[in-house]
């Protein structure tokens, strides 16, 4: 797990051909917009969150964010314990995000 600044996260993500963006916010928060191409798994789902994360491809690089960076840090720690090699936490979360947001599909 690694904490990345907004700039590091965005530039590393842009260069990463094996990247998956993961939004761990609640449904209500996601209704305000989501980073393009992100998948959404609410960390507050407890065991269901762990089950959904475990089903993901552990060989991918995960760029994880939430509202402020706290829950995504927890999500990265969980992913670390589950055997994911690369999980990157967005410091400051979506509150400090300056990139595009789209409506969730």
| In a domain? residue 75 | yes
Tell me the pLDDT tens digit for each residue of 14-50.
999 999 999 999 999 999 999 999 999 999 999 999 9
Q: Which of 20, 53, 66, 76 is catalytic?
A: 66
Whether residue 67 contacts residue 93, with contact meaning beta carbons closer than 8 Å, is answered with yes
Q: Is 10 part of a structural domain of the chain?
A: yes
* 105 domain-assigned: no
Total domain count, the chain: 1
Residue ranges making up the domain that contains 28: 2-96
Tens digits of per-residue pLDDT, 1-13? 899 999 999 999 9
Tokens (6 digits) for 66: 């939430």
Is 34 part of a structural domain of the chain?
Answer: yes
The CATH number covering residue 78 comes to: 3.40.250.10
Residue 103 lies in a domain: no
Residue 104 Cα distances to 13, 21, 35, 38, 40, angstroms: 20, 13, 9, 9, 9
Please indicate whether residue 66 is annotated as part of the active site: yes
pTM of the model: 0.95
**104 located within any domain:** no
């Amino acid at each position: 797990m690694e904490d990345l600044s907004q700039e590091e996260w965005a530039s590393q993500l842009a260069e990463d051909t094996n990247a998956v963006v993961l939004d761990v916010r609640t449904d209500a928060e996601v209704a305000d917009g989501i980073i393009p191409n992100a998948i959404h798994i609410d960390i507050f789902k407890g065991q269901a969150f762990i089950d959904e994360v475990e089903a993901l491809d552990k060989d991918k690089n995960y760029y994880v964010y939430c509202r402020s960076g706290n829950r995504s840090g927890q999500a990265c720690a969980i992913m670390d314990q589950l055997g994911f090699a690369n999980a990157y936490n967005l410091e400051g979360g979506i509150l400090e995000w300056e990139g595009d947001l789209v409506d969730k599909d």
